[in-house]
Amino acid sequence: MSQVLVLAAALGLDLVFRELPNPLHPVAWMGRCIAALLRLKPRGDGARFFFGAAVVLSGAFLFGSAPALAGSVLRPAPFLVRALAGAFLLRQTFTLRTLLRAGKAVEEALRRGDLDDARRLLSFHLVSRDTAELTEGEVAGAAIESLAENLTDGFLAPLLFFRFFGLPGAWVYRFVNTCDSMIAYRDREHEYLGKFAAHADTALNYLPARIAGFAIVAAAVLTGGDGKNALRTMLGQHGRAAGPNAGWTMAAAAGALGVSLRKRGSYELSGGAAEPTVDDLARAGRLTGVAGVLLAAGLVFFSLGGSRVFFA
């Protein structure tokens, strides 16, 4: 029962409290650690591949050991203190509230008619692509894609790894995912440097992405979306997106909303002929929120039979 209590408490913390400021947030520490190590990167494709792999593996060991060390320090403390500390540490690896707030901020900017601010907020909070020339429909579409995709790596995956591997599993996942977001780019500098991180992140997200996709289908039924189209689009078009994982949730969202989600020069997920609007973005926020609730409820239920120590 200890694990399910920590999970429930962490979900409650996410519901009530905002993210820690960057100077205090462990994910920001991960980013600074990765950036510091990258200053030492060697020349040569082969050397860069092995260096990138070493960054991922050593950082995963370091940050995965941190919760186990905290557990050792807190072992003499009362159970409630250990459970609250565990919930706090787990909360730092995921968020649903911040994701939904980011989508809402882009929606509000579009409703004000401030496309420049919507582009800025989209770039700052949700996507890494260049947003300077995006149309209103492309901004809404990119935000919808990000809401759907981040349901996997920003919410479900770290909680799933917590279920099976405790807090070290959640923290290892978050570090690998942070490496992927920082160095896994297909340009000359990062092609080999980030290859190991990209493949590791793909492997870790394989199951969570598919579970999250089906959660969006279920949420479509509950929110008045087109559940059948969501399922059909997800199963038929998930392979169109870059990588084997992101398309599951994005295609499900496109089908649920009945819109086409496009990334220039890359892919198109056709859940319908319509270009996304600000109202579709609002619907996507509700869809993502309900899918998140379904996933959280499923995780809590799935954890009821577990008696795993949560710090290790």
Q: Which residues contact 22 (CB under 8 A, 6 or more apart)?
A: 28
Cβ(198)–Cβ(184) under 8 Å?
yes
pLDDT tens-digit readout, 11-52: 999 999 999 998 999 999 999 999 999 999 999 989 999 999
Mean pLDDT of 82-95: 95
Enter the tokens of residue 293.
């609730």
Cβ(174)–Cβ(137) under 8 Å?
no
The whole-number pLDDT of residue 312 equals 53
pTM of the model: 0.93
The whole-number pLDDT of residue 185 equals 83
Q: Token pair 């496309």 is at which residue?
A: 115
Buried b (16+ CB within 10 A) or exposed e, 297-306: ebbbeebeee
Residues facing residue 269 across a β-bridge: 261
**How would residue 130 be classed by pLDDT, with cut points 50, 70 and 90?**
confident
Domain ranges of the chain: 2-303
Give the containing element (helix H, strand E) for 261.
strand 260-263
Q: Token pair 């319908």 is at which residue?
A: 272
CA distance 136 to 167: 41
Nearest-5° Cα angle at 153, 309 to 233: 130
Enter the tokens of residue 290.
């309900």
